[in-house]
Amino acid sequence: MLLGVVLHACLAYLGPTRWPVQDRSESFLLTFAWAFIHGWRMELFFVLAGYFTAMVLRRAGAGGMLRRRLRRLVAPFLLGVATVLPFTMWIEGQARRSMAVRGVPNAQLNEPIHQAVRRDDIAELKKTAPDDPELGNAQYLAAALGRTEALKTLLRRNDDRPADTLLARLHGENALHAAARFGQPAAVALILEGAGGHAWKAELLAAQNEAGQTAADLTARDELEHQRIARILGVTPGPDEAQGRAEAARLLDPGKRTGGLRLAALLHQPLLGHLWFMWVLILLTLAFGAWAWLDERLDLPAPPRWMLAEWTRLLWLLPATTLLFWWSTAETGFGIAGEMSLAEKPAAIVTYGLFFAFGAALRLRGNEPARLPWLAWIQLPFLTFLVLPIAFGLSNWDHPVAHLFGCMLQAAFAWGMTFTLMDLFTWHLARPVAVVRRLADASLWVYLLHLPLVVALQWLMAGWRLWPVVKCGLICGLTLGTLLLADHYLVRRTWLGALLNGKKA
């Protein structure tokens, strides 16, 4: 869990992403560090979660396991959702607004008119000439950002009719496409109101981009294409897009039933933030409890030992996980990203469910991790410096064969690092180490509280003239130091410590 601090600290330095803070300094080293951690961290977490859940099952039975595990999971989860997440969302919102004004680094739209849109400088925008070649691009940016006053001002420069954008990959699109793509219903309503009574309204609604998509079609988001367009515009997408796209769809097609869309949008809102994995773990624990209950009554068949044995397990794990990665990453590039919503992506649940089930089977069948540290020390550099770079390089290729091969390498990296680290830790940390135990006890507290601190520090340091690695190191050091001290002096021996870590905290 502590690596989550490092992972999130790196995100501000990867270039344009959906992260709320985009530093003007990018770092190849931090991108590599992010990919290295992201490629195995949650996979290993769910293997260990399954292993220790099965350990509790052996001691307490299906009912006792569910009571104990859910007590340890649900209470911290609800506490985090009620207290930490609202504060985190507020910090992220402040950072996003600040980044929207500054503009994301390396974006194509950085002309004075675009900066005026980001600042909502209406007086400056009123000076725009009707024949300004950047008018369509500025309208598109204003609609994507939801700057309705700026958009209204720019539309008036062209008699309320949106001008086409001239940006590459966006030929044929206009501000209505942008508003639909980025879930800005207020901008959609403004454009449609201005088009009312004009003969060109039908033409506006039917306008298609190079892919043959109308504005209404763009309310169903293509994740990979969405990220590319956001990068071009210098836009950091907000957390309310799903709900906004559902409302935009209703405005663009009033006869279409959107009740289901609104409900789906609500369920797919990324409201769980960095606590999404706890929700997935709760779901997997419930599913495992149901299996254990049936097993106690029906004596279900156990998996054959060859499926867990060191030299044969990859014969089925690698192809199965390759297909799951292909399903999970068809639109999201490298690694499996949780949707952070109550209706989590089935692909993420099934994929992490496989890792959880494998860990549980390891414990139930009595197979311990292999104790070959010399082989693990060979595997570690091989996976890190050969498999990972190729997998990461192929992650965004559009060619289906390259994408499938990249998914296979991602699966190989995830399982390879899982087994390698389990072997190394089993060998070198077989005996209890006080420092490691203390860090383990504090890890949930640190993870719950780290994100608002990380985002705030990234936002604070965004303008500092320091190397990205130095900034990231400062963020990690200050966050970990602050929260570990708070755990030691304020949390460990209180009711909160008992809630997070059990009675021994």
Question: What's the confidence (pLDDT) of residue 239?
Answer: 63
Question: What's the confidence (pLDDT) of residue 88?
Answer: 92
Residue 271 lies in a domain: no
Question: What's the confidence (pLDDT) of residue 444?
Answer: 92
Radius of gyration of the chain (CA): 25
**Positions in the chain whose pLDDT score sits under 70:** 16, 100-108, 168-169, 221-225, 227-228, 231, 236-239, 255-269, 330-332, 339, 367-372, 503-505
> 326: which 2 tokens?
């292909």
CA 284 to chain CA mean position, Å: 19
Return the number of other C-beta atoms located less than 10 Å from residue 198's C-beta: 13
pLDDT tens digits, 155-198: 998 888 898 887 766 777 889 999 998 889 999 999 999 988 88
Question: What's the confidence (pLDDT) of residue 266?
Answer: 61
Residue 213 lies in a domain: yes
Residue 380 lies in a domain: no
Residue 280 identity (one-letter amino acid): V
Q: Tell whether the torsion through CA atoms of 428, 429, 433 and 437 is positive or negative.
A: positive
Based on the structure, what is the number of domains in the chain?
1
> 262: which 2 tokens?
């609104």
Q: For 416-438, give one letter per residue: b (16+ CB within 10 A) or e.
A: bbbbbbbbbeeeeeeeeeeeeee
Q: Please give the Cα distance from 224 to 208 (Å, whole number).
A: 19
Question: What's the confidence (pLDDT) of residue 505?
Answer: 42
Q: Please give the Cα distance from 408 to 224 (Å, whole number).
A: 19
Q: What is the pTM of this model?
A: 0.80
3-state DSSP assignment of residue 202? helix
Judge residue 66's burial from the number of C-beta atoms within 10 Å of its C-beta, 0-12 exposed, 13-18 middle, 19 or more buried: buried
Q: What is the CATH number of the domain that holds 190?
A: 1.25.40.20
Residue 498 lies in a domain: no
Residue in the structure block whose two tokens are 């911290």: 76
Question: What's the confidence (pLDDT) of residue 221?
Answer: 62
> Do residues 230 and 99 make contact, with C-beta atoms less than 8 angstroms apart?
no
Return the number of other C-beta atoms located less than 10 Å from residue 60's C-beta: 14
Q: Tell whether the torsion through CA atoms of 445, 358, 404 and 375 is positive or negative.
A: positive
Provide the domain limits for residue 197: 105-235
Task: DSSP for 390-409, please give it.
Answer: HHHHHTT---HHHHHHHHHH
Q: Please give the Cα distance from 234 to 103 (Å, whole number).
A: 6
Question: What's the confidence (pLDDT) of residue 105?
Answer: 52
Residue 312 lies in a domain: no
Q: Tell whether the torsion through CA atoms of 169, 332, 337 and 66 is positive or negative.
A: positive
User: Nearest-CA neighbor of 391 among 459, 467, 322?
Assistant: 322
Q: Tell whether the torsion through CA atoms of 90, 247, 185 and 169 is positive or negative.
A: positive
> CA 194 → CA 153, 217, 251, 473, distances in Å?
12, 21, 14, 50
Residue 230 lies in a domain: yes
pLDDT tens digits, 404-440: 899 999 999 999 999 999 888 887 777 778 888 888 8
Task: DSSP for 116-156, please give it.
Answer: HHHHT-HHHHTT--TT-TTHHHHHHHHHHHT-HHHHHHHHH
The dihedral formed by the CA atoms of 446, 74, 237 and 5, expressed in degrees to the nearest 10? 20
Residue 276 lies in a domain: no
Residue 160 lies in a domain: yes
